[in-house]
Amino acid sequence: MLAPDPQAESGAEPLLAVTRALEVLEWLAQAPEGLAFPALRQRLGTNQGAAFKILATLERSGWLFRSEDTGRYLLTYKLSNLGLTRLSRSRLLQIAQPALRNLAEASGELVRLAVVERDSITWVLALAGANRQQHTLQIVPGNKLRIGLNTHAAGKAWLSCLPWPEAWALLQAQGLERRTPHSLVTEAALRADLEAAAARGFATSFEENELSIGAIAVPILAPGLDGVPGCVGSVSVAAPTGRMDRATLEAQAPAAMECARGLGAAWPLNLEG
C-alpha cells in the first residue's frame, strides 16, 4: 500500500483540534507570565469541556504546565528543545558560534543570527560583546523578541533580497506596526528603504523598533538545492544610540558582511541534516 502523498493531501481540511492546540502553544509563547484558563477558553472560542481537553492533552504530553501559584498555564522548554535539537543536528550552531563571537568581540555590541523559515524569519542565536558585559552564547527568547519586518533591521535585510511584490505581501501579512515615531509604515517609504538596503548590502533600523536603539543587518546568501543563491538568514549588530550614532553603527557593516559571507559559504544545505 502506497503512503499518502503530502502534496496530494495539501488541500485537505485541517483538523480543528490540532489547529486549536497549536494556537494555544503560539499564544503561550507570546505570554511569558502565562495565561489563565478563562482567557484561553475565550480565545479558543469553544466550551469549557473542549478547552479543558485540549489543555489537559498538551499538559500530559509535556508541552505546557499549570502553575500551582497562579493557576496560569505556561509553556515548558520542550518546544524550544526541539528547535535546539534541529539546529544542532544541522551543524548551524557549530558554524555560527565562532563567527558571531568574532563579530561581537570586534564591535563590542550585541550580535544576533536570524534564520529564514518559509514565510518568516526568527532569531535563533545571540552573542554580546564587551560593551554588553556578557560573553556567553544564548538562544534568543522568541516569545519576547518577535522580528517586526518593517521595524527590525534583521527583517528588512531578508526582505531586501526579495522582489518588491513578494516583500510587500509579507509586510502586509504581518502588519505595519508603528513601534516608534521613526517606524516606516507606508509602502513608498518601505520600498525606498529596502531598495537602499539592497544597493548597499545591509539594512538599518535606527530607533525604528525601540527608541535609543539602532541596528544594522546583513543578509546571509547561500545556494539552495537548485544551486540558486537565496537569503537564508541575517546577521545583525545592535547598540544603544548613545554609544553608537548612525555613522558609527553603519561602520560595522564591513565586518558584518564578512561574517555573513562566511556563514553563507558554510551554510548547511539541508537544515534537517
Asked if 117 and 214 sit in the same domain, the reply is yes
Asked if 173 and 207 sit in the same domain, the reply is yes
Q: Does residue 136 register a pLDDT over 70?
A: no
Q: What whole-number distance in Å separates Cα of residue 107 and Cα of residue 128?
A: 9
H/E segment holding residue 235:
strand 229-240
Asked if 94 and 50 sit in the same domain, the reply is no
pLDDT at residue 268, as a whole number: 76
Q: Does residue 1 register a pLDDT over 50?
A: no
Burial class (CB in 10 A: 0-12, 13-18, 19+), 179: middle
Phi/psi for 237 (5° steps) reads -125, 125
Q: What whole-number distance in Å separates Cα of residue 40 and Cα of residue 31?
A: 11
Q: What whole-number distance in Å separates Cα of residue 235 and Cα of residue 127?
A: 11
Is the CB of residue 73 less than 8 Å from the CB of residue 55?
yes
pLDDT at residue 141, as a whole number: 42
Q: Does residue 6 register a pLDDT over 70?
A: no
The mean-pLDDT minimum among 50-59, 112-121, 150-159 falls in 112-121
Any idea what DSSP says for residue 252?
Answer: T
pLDDT at residue 119, as a whole number: 84
Higher pLDDT, 271 or 91: 91
Using the 3D structure, point to which of 58, 76, 94 is the last residue of a domain. Answer: 76
Task: Tally the residues of the chain.
Answer: 273
Asked if 50 and 137 sit in the same domain, the reply is no
The boundaries of the domain holding residue 134 are 81-266
Phi/psi for 261 (5° steps) reads -65, -45
pLDDT 10s digits, 207-262: 999 999 999 999 999 987 777 889 999 999 999 999 999 999 999 999 999 999 99
Is the CB of residue 134 less than 8 Å from the CB of residue 256?
no
pTM over 0.95: no
CATH of the domain at 243: 3.30.450.40
pLDDT at residue 135, as a whole number: 40
Asked if 242 and 160 sit in the same domain, the reply is yes
pLDDT 10s digits, 181-203: 999 999 999 999 999 999 999 99
Any idea what DSSP says for residue 132?
Answer: G
pLDDT at residue 85, as a whole number: 63
Domain assignment present for 1: no
CATH of the domain at 22: 1.10.10.10
pLDDT at residue 123, as a whole number: 86
Please give the average per-residue pLDDT across 68-80, as a whole number.
Answer: 84
Q: Give me the number of domains the chain comprises.
A: 2
* Number of Cβ atoms within 10 Å of the Cβ of 18: 10
